[in-house]
């Protein structure tokens, strides 16, 4: 169980199959493998030994995938750096895990000086971007051209593959240690549930530094199929590339999907090649599902729930649960059932399993669960207890084992002694025809302790006020759950993975 084995298999069976498409650049698996074997040799020549950390700070590109596989081919450990971070946050992660080599592209080359000046051990910089190589850096293409290819190191099993830092919502970021076995054990069950489209082309829009993007890339490598890459999300560019490159599937978050659907030229593009759309990062996407199926009839929709510590998939809601019948009985609002090899329970604060239909915390056990947090034994002990990962997510499980997320435990609002789960309120708001997006948080209140506060983005051209939305909510949920206050904004703060940053709303 080592992650580069899939390249060995593809080289043996379909070496001429197209591996990557990035802009005008295309390469077969044979060409891709030749480049990463040289890159691995170059990294070893620069001092990378087995288990050494190599970072990458870049937008999605073919070079990102080459770095991913090249580091593993050479026996190293990848540190994918969050592209939204400031220099101090980047330096913290590099220093924390001892990253000695850092790949950067043209979008982040300007940060190099600050990184080199403040890092405890200045990393060797390799420029993996377009255009001329900045002074003081080594060139990615030069390194590949001047290096001798090496044999695959074949590291696998419990050997460390990645240190993937969490967003740092509380205190310093935590480095999630993921082994080859962890990542393999997350990807393989997902392939059993939903094999990649045969002969398919996967469009990478989700950032590859994020576990969802990286895991989906690994599945495509395991299947030996084609990767299509774009640096980031831009609605019209995405529509163009789906049509031009005949993309068959992609992974998007609801905010991206809604932006695509709202684009004035959406219906002008031929999106008939798109067979499957996976969405995640939001438990309140009911109205979005209806819109997608109305505009793209026949497309397969699936929803995944997971977290970095689970590499990432805990459960999947498959296309069969997005049919009209499933949408009527509420299954489309579930995040699905635990995958093969993943044990899932809902427990109370004492760790005891609760009855079906009762809200508690999701805990997970399986070979996909992280080894722990790098150099943080106390944080590891809090998250991993008796072999179970405590996720911090509140949910209930129905009689058939389907999970329904209701909130992050820390996001739960306690108003007048009653628990209010933000996802339940957001689901109702999202169903209103004038609402594009909504986020619900608790704000201090003298009488109730906390009050329910909603931040709403209207659909283009829509007109709705706060009182109308409050009346709408009262039709579906109890009065104490309805927003006491509502504000309207043009947009919501989002993470690089497209998740709504509620901590920014609280500020």
Task: CATH number of the domain at 39, please.
Answer: 3.40.50.980
Start-end of H helices in 19-150:
29-45, 62-73, 87-97, 112-118, 140-146
Q: How many CB atoms lie within 10 A of CB 363?
A: 22
Residues of the chain with pLDDT under 70: 167-171, 281-286, 417, 496-497
Q: Is residue 79 one of the residues assigned to a domain?
A: yes
Q: How many CB atoms lie within 10 A of CB 460?
A: 8
Specify the pLDDT at position 423.
Answer: 80
Specify the pLDDT at position 169.
Answer: 39
Domain boundary among 144, 165, 184: 184
What is d(CA 192, CA 349) in angstroms, rounded to the nearest whole number? 34
Q: Is residue 273 one of the residues assigned to a domain?
A: yes
Same domain, 298 and 356: yes
Same domain, 313 and 179: no
Nearest to 20 by CA among 195, 190, 182, 208: 208
**CA angle 394–395–401, rounded 5-degree value:** 150
Q: Is residue 191 one of the residues assigned to a domain?
A: no
What is d(CA 254, CA 476) in angstroms, rounded to the nearest whole number? 23
Edge-to-edge strands of the sheet including 435-445?
435-445, 449-458, 485-488
CATH code of the domain containing 438: 3.30.300.30
* Token digits of residue 466: 């706060």
Same domain, 297 and 178: no
Edge-to-edge strands of the sheet including 300-306?
25-28, 18-22, 226-229, 201-204, 249-252, 276-279, 300-306, 313-317, 337-338
Same domain, 402 and 430: no
What is d(CA 242, CA 202) in angstroms, rounded to the nearest whole number? 10
What is d(CA 290, CA 287) in angstroms, rounded to the nearest whole number? 5
Domain boundary among 408, 424, 444: 408
Residue 201 has what DSSP assignment? Answer: E
Quote the number of domains for the chain: 3
Q: Is residue 199 one of the residues assigned to a domain?
A: no
Same domain, 387 and 265: yes
Please, are residues 59 and 105 in contact by the beta-carbon 8 Å criterion? yes
Please, are residues 106 and 129 in contact by the beta-carbon 8 Å criterion? yes
Same domain, 31 and 117: yes
Same domain, 478 and 500: yes
Same domain, 24 and 70: yes
Same domain, 242 and 375: yes
Please, are residues 22 and 8 in contact by the beta-carbon 8 Å criterion? no
Please, are residues 93 and 99 in contact by the beta-carbon 8 Å criterion? yes
DSSP assignment of 210-260 equals: SHHHHHHHHHHHHHT-EEEE-SS--HHHHHHHHHHHT--EEEE-HHHHHHH
Give the gyration radius of the chain's Cα atoms. 23
**Phi and psi at residue 347, in whole multiples of 5°?**
-130, 160
Specify the pLDDT at position 406.
Answer: 82
Same domain, 156 and 247: no
Q: Which helix (H) or strand (E) holds 304?
A: strand 300-306
Q: Computed from CA positions of residues 42, 44, 50, 53, in that sequence, does the dihedral angle turn out positive or negative?
A: negative
Q: Is residue 221 one of the residues assigned to a domain?
A: no
Q: Is residue 210 one of the residues assigned to a domain?
A: no
CATH code of the domain containing 284: 3.40.50.12780
pTM of structure = 0.86
Same domain, 249 and 164: no
Domain boundary among 384, 408, 432: 408
Start-end of H helices in 356-454:
377-383, 422-431
Q: Is residue 470 one of the residues assigned to a domain?
A: yes
In the three-class reduction of DSSP (H, G, I as helix; E, B as strand; rest coil), residue 435 is classed as: strand
Please, are residues 78 and 72 in contact by the beta-carbon 8 Å criterion? yes
Query: For residue 486, what are the CA distances in angstroms to 144, 289, 478?
Result: 55, 25, 17
In the three-class reduction of DSSP (H, G, I as helix; E, B as strand; rest coil), residue 102 is classed as: strand
What is d(CA 77, CA 446) in angstroms, rounded to the nearest whole number? 51
Query: CB under 8 Å, gap of 24 or more: what pairs does 236-244 form?
Result: 236/263, 236/265, 238/203, 238/205, 239/263, 239/265, 239/266, 239/269, 239/271, 240/269, 241/203, 242/203, 242/269, 242/271, 242/273, 242/274, 243/269, 243/270, 243/271, 243/273
Domain encompassing residue 436: 413-506
What is d(CA 121, CA 355) in angstroms, rounded to the nearest whole number? 52
Specify the pLDDT at position 395.
Answer: 92
Same domain, 398 and 448: no
Q: How many CB atoms lie within 10 A of CB 138?
A: 17
Distance of CA 434 to the CA centre of its chain: 28
Q: Is residue 78 one of the residues assigned to a domain?
A: yes
Please, are residues 345 and 384 in contact by the beta-carbon 8 Å criterion? no
């Amino acid at each position: 169980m080592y992650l580069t084995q899939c390249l060995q298999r593809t080289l043996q069976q379909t070496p001429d199959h197209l591996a990557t498409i990035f802009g005008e650049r295309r390469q077969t698996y044979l060409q891709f493998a030749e480049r990463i074997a040289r890159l691995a040799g170059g990294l070893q020549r620069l001092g990378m030994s087995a288990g050494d950390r190599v970072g990458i700070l870049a937008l999605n590109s073919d070079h990102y995938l080459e770095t991913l596989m090249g580091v593993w081919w050479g026996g190293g450990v990848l540190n994918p750096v969050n592209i939204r971070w400031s220099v101090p946050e980047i330096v913290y992660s590099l220093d924390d895990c001892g990253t000695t080599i850092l790949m950067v592209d043209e979008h982040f080359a300007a940060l190099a000086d600050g990184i080199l000046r403040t890092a405890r051990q200045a990393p060797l910089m390799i420029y993996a971007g377009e255009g001329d190589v900045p002074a003081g850096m080594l060139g990615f293409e030069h390194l590949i051209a001047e290096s001798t290819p090496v044999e695959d190191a074949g590291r696998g099993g419990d050997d460390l593959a990645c240190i993937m830092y969490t967003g740092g919502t509380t205190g310093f970021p935590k480095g999630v240690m993921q082994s080859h076995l962890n990542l393999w054990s997350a990807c393989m069950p997902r392939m059993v549930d939903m094999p990649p489209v045969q002969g398919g082309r996967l469009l990478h829009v989700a950032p590859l530094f994020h576990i969802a993007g990286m895991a989906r890339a690994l599945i495509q490598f395991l299947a030996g199929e084609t990767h299509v890459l774009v640096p980031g999300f831009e609605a019209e560019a995405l529509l163009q590339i789906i049509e031009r490159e005949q993309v068959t599937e992609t992974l998007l978050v609801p905010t991206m999907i809604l932006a695509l659907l709202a684009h004035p030229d959406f219906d002008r593009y031929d999106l008939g090649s798109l067979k499957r759309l996976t969405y995640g990062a939001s438990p309140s996407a009911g109205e979005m599902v209806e819109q997608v199926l109305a505009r793209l009839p026949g497309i397969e929709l699936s929803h995944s729930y997971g977290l970095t510590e689970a590499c990432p998939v805990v459960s999947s809601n498959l296309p069969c649960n997005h049919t009209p019948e499933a949408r009527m009985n509420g299954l489309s609002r579930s995040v699905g059932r635990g995958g093969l090899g993943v044990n899932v329970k809902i427990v109370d604060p004492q760790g005891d399993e609760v009855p079906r239909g009762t809200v508690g915390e999701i805990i997970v056990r399986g070979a996909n669960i992280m080894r722990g947090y790098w150099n943080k034994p106390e944080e590891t002990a809090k998250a991993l207890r008796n072999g179970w990962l405590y996720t911090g997510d509140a949910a209930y499980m129905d009689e058939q084992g389907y999970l329904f997320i209701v909130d992050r435990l820390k996001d739960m609002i306690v108003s007048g002694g009653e628990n209010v789960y933000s996802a339940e309120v957001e689901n109702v708001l999202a169903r209103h025809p004038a609402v594009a997006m909504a986020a619900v948080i608790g704000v201090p209140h003298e009488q109730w302790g906390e009050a329910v506060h909603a931040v709403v983005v209207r659909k283009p051209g829509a007109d709705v006020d706060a009182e109308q939305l409050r009346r709408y909510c009262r039709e579906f949920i109890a009065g104490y759950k309805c927003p006491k206050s509502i504000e309207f904004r043009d947009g919501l703060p989002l993470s690089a993975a497209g998740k709504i940053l509620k901590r920014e709303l609280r500020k």
